[in-house]
C-alpha cells in the first residue's frame, strides 16, 4: 500500500464529525513538522463547539506562497447500520476505499501531505513557501474555522499568493474538473404582517399570504443578471414558507418566507437586497409596518481567471493524467469563499464527488495516487515559475 492510501486510512479511522478533529490535525502536523513546517493550532468557538484549526508554513514568508487548504471534519454518518461496513473503519471493496470522509476530503488531505513530503525531499530549498490551512468547522456553521484563521493571517500580513482547496471537484476521474470559483450565497427571511381573523369575515382581517403572493411571483420571474463566461445567471429560490395556525377557518397574522440567492460576480449583495425591497414597495408593502426582512450573507462569489495558478494546475493534470480539465464554478459554497478575500488566486481540486455525504461514501483507489501526483506536479510548476521570476 502506498503512503497516500495509508495516510487516508489513518484519517478516516478518526471519527472527526464537526466540530471534532479527533487528532487528524495533530497527525498531519507531525508529518509537516518533520519537513520543517512551523505549525500553529488556533482554537476558536464556545466551549460546547470548540473548533480546531491548523496553520503550518514552510519558509519565512518572503517567497511566493502556495497554500493547501481543507477540512478535517466530516458530516454525520447517518444510521451506521445502513452502511455495508463501519463508516470509521476504512474498508476496501471492489477497488474502492470506503469510510466517512474518504472523498470529502481525507484523501485530498493525505495527497497534499505526501505530495509535500516528496517535493521537499527532492527540493530542500524551494523557491516558494508552502503552507497548510486546515479546519474542523467546514461542514458545520463555518463561523470559527477558516474565516477566523484568514482574519488572523490578514492581520499579521502573511503572504498568500495561491491556494488549492482539496474539495472533491472531479466527476468521473481525478482531475477532469476543477473549480476556479464559486457563486455567492445570500439568504433572506421575509415576514409579511397581516391581521388574523375568521376566514368568513375577511373584511375584518388582512391576509398576509395574499399580500406576499404577487411579490413572490414577481421575484420568481425576475432575471437578476445574465451571468458571464464563468458563472451561470444568478438564481433566486424559495426554500420554506410558514403561515397559518393549522386551522382551515383562520386567516393567519403573518407569513414567513425563507429564500436564497446564488449569485454571480455580475451582482452584489447590496444590489440584490435593494431589488427585493423595491419589489415589496411596488406592491404596497412598507418596511416595519407591513414586513420585516432579515439578511444573511453566507459568502461572496470568487473567481480565479486563467493565470499562474490555473495554468500550473491544468498543466499538472495533463502531465499526470492526460486530461484537459474543465473549469467550473458550479455547486455549493466552500471555504474558498473566505480564502479568496485574502488570497487572489484560489482553485479547488479533489477526487470524484459522486458519494460525498452519502451512505457508503468511498473513493476509488485508482484516484488517490494520481491526485497526489497532481499536487506534487503543481508544486514543481509553481516552483519553476518562481525561479524564473527571480
CB 116 within 8 A of CB 28: no
CB 169 within 8 A of CB 328: yes
Exactly one of 138, 139, 167, 367 is catalytic; name it.
138
CB 244 within 8 A of CB 252: yes
Our answer to whether residue 138 is catalytic in this structure is yes
Exactly one of 9, 21, 22, 73 is catalytic; name it.
73
Q: Is the dihedral of CA 302, 19, 96, 82 positive or negative?
A: negative
Distance CA 155, CA 157 (A): 6
Distance CA 301, CA 319 (A): 30
Our answer to whether residue 361 is catalytic in this structure is no
3-class SS string, the chain: CCHHHHHHHHHHCCCCECCCCCCHHHHHHHHHHCCCCEEEEEEECCHHHCEEEEEEEECCCCCCEEEEEEECCECCCCCHHHCCCCCCCCEEECCEEECCCHHHHHHHHHHHHHHHHHHHHHCCCCCCEEEEEEECCCCCCCCCCHHHHHHHHHHHCCCCCEEEECCCCECCCCCCEEECEECEEEEEEEEEECECEECCCHHHCECHHHHHHHHHHHHHHCCCCCCCCCCCCCEEEEEEEEECCCCCCEECCEEEEEEEEEECCCCCHHHHHHHHHHHHHHCCCCECCCEEEEEEEEECCEECCCCHHHHHHHHHHHHHHCCCCEEECCCCCCCHHHHCCCCCEEEECCCECCCCCCCCCEEEHHHHHHHHHHHHHHHHHHHHHHHHHC
* Residues assigned a catalytic role: 73, 138
Amino acid at each position: 500500500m502506498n503512503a497516500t492510501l495509508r495516510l487516508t486510512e489513518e484519517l478516516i479511522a478518526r471519527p472527526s464529525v464537526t466540530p471534532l478533529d479527533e487528532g487528524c490535525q495533530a497527525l498531519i502536523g507531525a508529518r509537516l513538522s518533520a519537513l520543517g513546517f512551523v505549525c500553529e493550532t488556533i482554537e476558536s468557538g464556545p466551549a460546547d463547539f470548540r473548533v480546531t484549526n491548523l496553520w503550518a508554513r514552510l519558509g519565512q514568508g518572503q517567497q511566493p506562497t502556495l497554500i493547501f487548504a481543507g477540512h478535517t471534519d466530516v458530516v454525520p454518518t447517518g444510521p451506521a447500520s445502513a452502511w455495508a461496513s463501519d463508516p470509521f473503519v476504512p474498508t476496501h471493496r471492489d477497488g474502492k476505499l470506503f469510510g466517512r470522509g474518504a472523498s470529502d476530503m481525507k484523501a485530498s488531505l493525505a495527497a497534499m501531505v505526501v505530495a509535500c513530503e516528496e517535493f521537499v525531499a527532492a527540493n530542500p530549498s524551494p523557491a516558494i513557501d508552502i503552507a497548510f490551512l486546515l479546519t474542523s468547522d467546514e461542514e458545520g456553521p463555518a463561523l470559527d474555522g477558516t474565516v477566523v484563521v484568514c482574519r488572523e493571517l490578514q492581520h499579521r500580513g502573511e503572504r498568500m499568493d495561491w491556494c488549492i482547496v482539496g474539495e472533491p471537484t472531479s466527476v468521473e476521474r481525478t482531475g477532469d474538473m476543477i473549480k476556479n470559483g464559486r457563486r455567492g450565497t445570500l439568504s433572506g427571511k421575509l415576514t409579511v404582517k397581516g391581521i388574523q381573523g375568521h376566514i368568513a369575515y375577511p373584511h375584518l382581517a388582512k391576509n398576509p399570504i395574499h399580500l406576499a403572493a404577487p411579490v413572490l411571483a414577481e421575484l420568481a420571474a425576475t432575471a437578476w443578471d445574465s451571468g458571464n463566461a464563468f458563472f451561470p445567471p444568478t438564481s433566486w429560490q424559495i426554500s420554506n414558507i410558514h403561515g397559518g395556525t393549522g386551522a382551515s377557518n383562520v386567516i393567519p397574522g403573518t407569513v414567513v418566507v425563507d429564500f436564497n440567492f446564488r449569485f454571480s460576480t455580475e451582482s452584489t449583495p447590496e444590489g440584490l437586497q435593494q431589488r427585493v425591497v423595491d419589489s415589496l414597495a411596488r406592491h404596497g408593502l412598507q418596511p416595519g409596518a407591513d414586513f420585516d426582512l432579515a439578511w444573511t450573507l453566507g459568502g461572496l462569489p470568487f473567481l480565479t481567471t486563467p493565470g499562474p495558478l490555473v495554468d500550473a494546475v491544468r498543466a499538472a493534470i495533463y502531465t499526470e493524467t492526460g486530461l484537459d480539465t474543465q473549469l467550473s464554478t458550479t455547486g455549493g459554497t466552500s471555504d474558498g469563499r473566505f480564502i479568496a478575500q485574502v488570497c487572489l488566486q484560489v482553485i479547488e481540486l479533489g477526487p470524484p464527488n459522486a458519494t460525498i455525504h452519502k451512505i457508503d461514501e468511498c473513493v476509488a483507489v485508482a484516484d488517490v495516487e494520481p491526485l497526489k501526483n497532481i499536487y506534487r506536479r503543481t508544486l514543481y510548476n509553481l516552483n519553476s515559475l518562481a525561479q524564473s521570476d527571480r
